[in-house]
Amino acid sequence: MALILITGASDGLGRALAEDLAVSGRHRLLLHGRNAQRLREVADATGGETFLADFSSLAEVGSLAAEIAGSYDRLDVLVNNAGVGFHATGTTRELSADGYELRLAVNYLAPVLLTRKLLSLLRRGAPSRIVNVASVGQQPIDFDDPHQERGYTDVAAYCRSKLALISHTYDLAEELAGTGVTVNSLHPALYMPTAMSKRSGMEIVDSLETGVAATRRLVDAPELADVTGRYFEIEKEARASEEAYDPEYRRRLGELTRDLLKDF
């Protein structure tokens, strides 16, 4: 029985993915969220186990990892799905508990930190998989202004965090080559009928089922067991923004990431 951790499982894509995975009865689900009531509802529907943590606090991310590592001796799949969306016209900059730009912290730094702290469990669970939920919306970080103190918009902050996650996926795949741990990223669907999409003010384009199927494929499709270091748009392999393949961009992103996470 595969042990699968889904972050952001209390709503939207994460909840729907958990419910889909539960149908087969072949998976043991670890469900992360920050709303206890909604998370309990998902647990009741799926039989999963619940873990509370607010990803705007990196200390809570670390505590979540420690709780899981203290309870299990392996992990078969990590789905980094939790995230903060955007308001299409949003221009009010928000900060995380650690003083970082909020979307950079929640959508990028939190999953990177969680993954790092759970790598030993994933190695013990090998063959295992890391699935990073990203987006077709991508922009490079301005390394002279990583927290976007100038010219802030929600959309830009969101897109920067998602390209960072894709870029990190490529580096991590190279690092984990030969270990049996695969890592891929995907844009699951465009503006699904989720609370995040509705808050953006954009029109719904794709169904939630489309996003679930695309993500589920990376979780347990046999034909992708050995596939790593790829970016998918729904179910097709695609090319991310050019910066994701630029060694200098990835080097600078790695330096920034290590600096921001050094105390956690």
Neighbours of 84 (CB within 10 A): 22
Residue 70: Cβ-neighbour burial (10 angstroms; 0-12, 13-18, 19+): exposed
* Distance from C-alpha of 157 to C-alpha of 104, rounded to nearest angstrom: 7
158 catalytic? Reply is yes
Q: Are 234 and 212 in contact (CB under 8 A)?
A: no
Angle at 218 between CA 54 and CA 40, to 5 degrees: 35
Q: Are 132 and 162 in contact (CB under 8 A)?
A: no
Q: How many helices (H) and strands (E) does the chain have?
A: 9, 8
The single residue listed with the structure tokens 């690092």 is 175
Q: Are 81 and 232 in contact (CB under 8 A)?
A: no
Closest-CA residue to 33 (of 11, 52, 20): 52
* Amino acid letter for position 247: P
Catalytic residue among 72, 100, 108, 158: 158
* Distance from C-alpha of 105 to C-alpha of 57, rounded to nearest angstrom: 8
* Distance from C-alpha of 80 to C-alpha of 76, rounded to nearest angstrom: 13
Q: What is the DSSP letter of 144?
A: T
The single residue listed with the structure tokens 């169904």 is 207
Closest-CA residue to 183 (of 192, 175, 191): 175
Q: Among all residues, which ones are annotated catalytic?
A: 158
